[in-house]
């Protein structure tokens, strides 16, 4: 990658703007023209010494660096191979591939991370939180395209231009770049004599740099670059982790970094070629930007457009006073007269979407050819023009003007349906997840509807039963009055008893129905045979209700007249274990305390205690757990935290 200072000062510098895959394909067309263009007897592509790139431009720049021998080779077959790689990459539907993996693996990764934090499970389960992030899968897409190329490999090869893959620090807003085998931070103070802060990054992959450069904020979170990833540099500027985002946030043309290098004298080429694939800034008619995502994307577009305007104003200042350097700006929004591609189709190229969705092969070819035509018109054509070959290719495809016109018009809108329809194994899993979710919702709705229907049915039955009982009562009352009028007391009694029996049967039926649905307490255990008939009330704290229910059942089966199936939970029972009594009830209280101790397995804990305010026919039990005895876990806001909860 390293060149002499003289070579870098007499070569060609490229600035490749951002703009998603649209920019990648458009820049590819510009590069194709540089393969045909001759300057001083050499192909222009071989004189490229520096490539400054942003976002979509960084995809092409990294691919060029990783495959420089094929890009600069005079053999067209060699170039066709790498060109086809990019065209195939444009058909991968990268955005949807990333979203599907993020949707499917994100929740699973969070569960695994929670499990890995557990003391015992963490020894078995290994957390991979990166698998659930969009930026991880974005880098993996670039890793496949770039074949795991690293900066150190490029540094060892000769003749490879110096790449400057630009990104933005999300914390400080400073311009950052992967320049050659160094990671650089350009300070806000341009006059700082120390220049940019540098740390070696030769061991890192190009895929990481491209992912950071193209991490468009509304779609992707920033990429984290840690001190460890940079091999622990000594410079204090790298002590804290850096969050890197789309380079277009700072400068979507890639000019600012070139200007600073140019001002420091490290780069002074004879020609600067700026390939600007930035599209139209005008909003679509009728669009309100009501959605959160749409507003954020538009805000980012406004910011990037403003920065690009400021950068364009400074382009002319890049020329040397002696005009030894030439600046050529190739804009996707421009058109040229060409019989193979109408101006209306060329004009729509600036409206093509700037995302990572699948690009139709014909549309991809259109963008490449548009870049080649504009580069030829702007830079000139010396040494053979590809126009005839391109026109012939168009004719060979038998493409009509109408076909290209409709294709370019449709390319302006984003598509989301491909998220569920694609040649990707995750589509099946996504459909399965959607089906499982829909099934769960369906079952939940059905369960709720069934419960609601059952409740309404019970209400209707109860209402009908009450109406029938009322009608029966009214009829019985009429018959009783008639019998009493006739002084037939036996008949009146018989009617009255029949009505009472009918009412009792209805009550028993209602109790049976309610008990079967679990709406009332279970029937208390029958009393055993004991000589004490005081009423027993249980107050407790700290126990589970099932424990008190078991205690209640045990006492009741022993003959104690407990007044419910469990007891009353109250905070006042904390740290108490006593049977309160009054008057001459010491003996029953002692016997009850012994029975409770036997049931709990805690001899001598519960003791009788006289209380003068307690009624003579009542015994009050106040109990709570003692050390070593199983108790209910304390929960904030539970009944134990309240004053009392009666059952």
How far is Cα 260 from Cα 186, in angstroms, rounded to an integer? 9
Domain identity same for 271 and 340: yes
Under DSSP, is residue 98 helix (H, G, I), strand (E, B) or coil? Answer: helix
Domain identity same for 495 and 546: no
Q: 82 pLDDT band (50/70/90 cuts)?
A: very high
pLDDT at 407 over 90: no
How far is Cα 545 from Cα 570, in angstroms, rounded to an integer? 12
How far is Cα 74 from Cα 5, in angstroms, rounded to an integer? 25
How far is Cα 333 from Cα 346, in angstroms, rounded to an integer? 8
Give per-residue burial for 248-284: e unless 16+ CB within 10 Å, then b: bbbbbbbbbbbbbbbeeeebbbbbbbbbbbbbeeeee
Confidence (pLDDT) at 509: 58
pLDDT at 391 over 70: no
Confidence (pLDDT) at 464: 85
Residue 398, token pair as written in the block: 């038998």
Domain identity same for 406 and 494: no
Lowest mean pLDDT among 1-5, 180-184, 249-253, 275-279: 1-5
User: Please, are residues 50 and 8 in contact by the beta-carbon 8 Å criterion?
Assistant: yes
CA distances from 348 to 366, 367, 387, 404, 500 (A): 11, 10, 20, 10, 90
Q: 387 pLDDT band (50/70/90 cuts)?
A: very low
Residue finishing a domain among 486, 502, 518: 502
- pTM attached to this predicted model: 0.65
User: Please, are residues 213 and 58 in contact by the beta-carbon 8 Å criterion?
Assistant: yes
How far is Cα 297 from Cα 646, in angstroms, rounded to an integer? 58
pLDDT at 516 over 50: no
Higher pLDDT, 422 or 281: 422
Confidence (pLDDT) at 436: 85
DSSP-assigned beta bridge partners for residue 246? 167
Q: What is the CATH number of the domain that holds 210?
A: 3.40.1090
E strands, 247-395, in order = 271-276, 326-331
Arithmetic mean of pLDDT over the chain: 80
Under DSSP, is residue 38 helix (H, G, I), strand (E, B) or coil? Answer: strand
Contacts of 99 (CB under 8 A, 6+ apart): 134, 419
Under DSSP, is residue 73 helix (H, G, I), strand (E, B) or coil? Answer: coil
Mean predicted confidence (pLDDT) in 111-130: 72
Give the containing element (helix H, strand E) for 514: helix 489-516
Greatest mean pLDDT among 106-110, 277-281, 477-481, 592-596:
592-596
User: Please, are residues 190 and 260 in contact by the beta-carbon 8 Å criterion?
Assistant: yes
How far is Cα 563 from Cα 561, in angstroms, rounded to an integer? 6
pLDDT at 400 over 50: no
Residue 78 lies in a domain: yes
Domain identity same for 487 and 541: no
Please state, as a whole number, how many other Cβ atoms lie within 10 Å of the Cβ of residue 602.
Answer: 16
pLDDT at 551 over 60: yes
Residue 351, phi then psi, degrees to nearest 5: -95, -5
Domain identity same for 415 and 495: no
pLDDT at 641 over 50: no
pLDDT at 202 over 90: no
Mean predicted confidence (pLDDT) in 224-238: 86
User: Please, are residues 138 and 207 in contact by the beta-carbon 8 Å criterion?
Assistant: no
User: Please, are residues 309 and 281 in contact by the beta-carbon 8 Å criterion?
Assistant: no
Q: 8 pLDDT band (50/70/90 cuts)?
A: low
Confidence (pLDDT) at 530: 59
Domain identity same for 490 and 545: no
Residue (of 534, 535, 508, 537) closest to 523 by Cα position: 508
How far is Cα 29 from Cα 24, in angstroms, rounded to an integer? 9
pLDDT at 505 over 70: no
Mean predicted confidence (pLDDT) in 587-595: 93
Lowest mean pLDDT among 215-224, 438-447, 552-561, 624-633: 624-633
pLDDT at 639 over 50: no
Residue 433 lies in a domain: yes
How far is Cα 59 from Cα 53, in angstroms, rounded to an integer? 8
User: Please, are residues 244 and 222 in contact by the beta-carbon 8 Å criterion?
Assistant: yes
User: Please, are residues 562 and 536 in contact by the beta-carbon 8 Å criterion?
Assistant: yes
Greatest mean pLDDT among 275-279, 590-594, 640-644:
590-594
Domain identity same for 320 and 447: no
Residue (of 615, 630, 629) closest to 563 by Cα position: 615
How far is Cα 333 from Cα 280, in angstroms, rounded to an integer? 8
Q: Burial level of 399, CB count in 10 A (0-12/13-18/19+)?
A: middle
Residue 133 lies in a domain: no
Q: 635 pLDDT band (50/70/90 cuts)?
A: very low
Strands 271-276 and 12-16 come out as parallel
- Percentage above 90 pLDDT, the chain: 32
Render pLDDT for 24-59 as a digit per residue (tens, 0 to 9).
999 999 999 999 998 888 899 999 999 999 999 999
Domain identity same for 319 and 224: yes
Residue 362, token pair as written in the block: 């014909």
Residue (of 242, 235, 188, 236) closest to 215 by Cα position: 242
Residue 521, token pair as written in the block: 């307490």
pLDDT at 453 over 80: yes
Residue 116 lies in a domain: no
Tally the C-alpha atoms within 13 A of residue 639's C-alpha that lie toward its C-beta.
17
Domain identity same for 402 and 543: no
Confidence (pLDDT) at 138: 92
pLDDT at 640 over 60: no
Domain identity same for 443 and 583: no
Residue (of 196, 216, 307, 331) closest to 254 by Cα position: 307
User: Please, are residues 192 and 184 in contact by the beta-carbon 8 Å criterion?
Assistant: no
Render pLDDT for 132-141 as a digit per residue (tens, 0 to 9).
788 998 999 9
Residue 277 lies in a domain: yes
Length of the chain: 647
Q: 160 pLDDT band (50/70/90 cuts)?
A: very high
DSSP string, 44-58: GGGGEEEEEEETHHH
CA distances from 29 to 25, 366, 409 (A): 7, 9, 20
Mean predicted confidence (pLDDT) in 294-323: 63
Helices (H), 188-291: 206-213, 255-264
Residue 35 lies in a domain: yes
Mean predicted confidence (pLDDT) in 624-631: 84
Residue 121 lies in a domain: no
Mean predicted confidence (pLDDT) in 413-418: 60
Lowest mean pLDDT among 262-276, 374-388, 433-447, 475-489: 374-388
**Start-to-end C-alpha separation, the chain:** 82
pLDDT at 484 over 70: yes
Residue finishing a domain among 502, 524, 550: 502
Q: 80 pLDDT band (50/70/90 cuts)?
A: very high
Mean predicted confidence (pLDDT) in 273-283: 76
Under DSSP, is residue 389 helix (H, G, I), strand (E, B) or coil? Answer: helix
**Helix-, strand-, coil-residue percentages of the chain, each rounded to 5:** 50, 15, 35
Quote the DSSP letter at residue 563: S
User: Please, are residues 351 and 333 in contact by the beta-carbon 8 Å criterion?
Assistant: no
Higher pLDDT, 469 or 375: 375
Higher pLDDT, 306 or 335: 335
pLDDT at 357 over 70: yes
Give the containing element (helix H, strand E) for 369: helix 361-379
Residue 134 lies in a domain: no
Domain identity same for 233 and 323: yes
Under DSSP, is residue 382 helix (H, G, I), strand (E, B) or coil? Answer: coil
Structural domain harbouring 612: 535-623
Domain identity same for 296 and 445: no
- Percentage above 70 pLDDT, the chain: 76
What total number of domains does the chain contain? 3
């Amino acid at each position: 990658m390293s060149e002499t200072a003289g070579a870098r000062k007499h070569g060609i510098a490229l600035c490749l703007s951002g703009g998603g895959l649209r920019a990648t394909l458009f820049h590819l067309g510009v590069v194709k023209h540089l393969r045909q263009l001759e300057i001083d007897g050499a192909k222009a592509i071989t004189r490229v010494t520096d490539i400054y790139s942003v976002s979509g431009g960084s995809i092409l720049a990294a691919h060029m660096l990783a495959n420089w021998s094929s890009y600069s080779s005079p053999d067209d077959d060699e170039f066709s191979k790498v060109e086809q790689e990019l065209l195939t990459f444009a058909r991968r539907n990268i955005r949807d591939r990333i979203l599907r993996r993020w949707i499917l693996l994100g929740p699973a990764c969070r569960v695994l991370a929670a499990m890995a934090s557990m003391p015992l499970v963490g020894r078995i389960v290994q957390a991979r939180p990166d698998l659930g992030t969009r930026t991880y899968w974005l880098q993996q897409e670039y890793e496949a395209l770039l074949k795991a190329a690293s900066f150190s490999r490029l540094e060892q090869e000769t003749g490879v231009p110096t790449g400057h893959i630009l990104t933005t620090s999300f914390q400080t807003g400073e311009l950052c770049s992967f320049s050659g085998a160094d990671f650089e931070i350009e300070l806000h103070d341009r006059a700082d004599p120390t220049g940019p802060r540098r740390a070696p990054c030769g061991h890192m992959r190009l895929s990481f740099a491209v992912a950071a450069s193209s991490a468009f904020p509304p779609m992707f979170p920033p990429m984290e670059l840690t001190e460890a990833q940079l091999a622990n540099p000594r410079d204090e500027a790298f002590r804290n982790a850096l969050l890197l985002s789309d380079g277009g946030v700072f400068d979507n043309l890639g000019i600012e970094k070139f200007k600073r290098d140019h001002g420091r004298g490290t780069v002074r080429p004879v020609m600067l070629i700026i390939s600007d694939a930035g599209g139209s800034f005008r909003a679509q008619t009728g669009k309100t930007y009501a959605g959160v995502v749409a507003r954020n994307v538009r805000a980012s577009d406004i910011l990037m457009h403003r920065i690009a305007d400021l950068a364009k104003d400074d382009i002319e200042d890049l020329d040397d006073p002696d005009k030894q350097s030439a600046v050529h700006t190739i804009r996707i929004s421009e058109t040229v007269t060409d019989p193979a591609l109408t101006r209306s189709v060329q004009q729509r190229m600036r409206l093509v979407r700037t995302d990572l969705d699948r690009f139709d092969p014909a549309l991809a070819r259109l963008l490449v050819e548009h870049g080649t035509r504009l580069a030829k018109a702007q830079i000139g054509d010396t040494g053979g023009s590809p126009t005839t070959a391109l026109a012939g290719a168009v004719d060979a495809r038998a493409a009509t003007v109408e076909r290209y016109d409709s294709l370019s018009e449709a390319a302006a809108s984003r598509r989301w349906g491909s998220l569920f329809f694609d040649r990707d194994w995750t589509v099946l899993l996504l459909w399965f997840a959607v089906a499982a979710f829909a099934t769960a919702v369906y079952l939940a709705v059905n369960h709720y509807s069934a419960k609601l229907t059952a409740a309404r049915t019970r209400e209707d039955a109860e209402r009908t039963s009450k109406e029938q009982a009322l009608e029966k009562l009214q009829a019985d009352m009429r018959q009783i009055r008639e019998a009493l009028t006739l002084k037939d007391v036996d008949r009146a009694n018989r009617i009255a008893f029949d009505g009472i029996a009918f009412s009792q049967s209805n009550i028993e039926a209602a109790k049976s129905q309610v008990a079967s649905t679990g709406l009332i307490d279970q029937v208390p255990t029958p009393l055993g045979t004991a000589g004490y008939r005081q009423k027993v009330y249980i107050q407790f704290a700290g126990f589970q209700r099932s424990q008190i229910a078991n205690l209640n059942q045990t006492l009741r089966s022993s003959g104690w007249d407990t007044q419910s199936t469990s007891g009353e939970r109250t905070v006042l029972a904390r740290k108490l274990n006593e049977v309160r009594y009054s008057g001459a009830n010491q003996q029953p209280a002692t016997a009850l305390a012994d029975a409770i101790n036997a049931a709990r397995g805690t001899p001598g804990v519960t003791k009788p205690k006289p209380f003068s305010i307690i009624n003579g026919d009542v015994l009050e039990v106040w109990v709570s757990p003692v050390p070593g005895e199983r108790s209910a876990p304390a929960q904030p806001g539970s009944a134990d935290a309240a004053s009392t909860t009666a059952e």
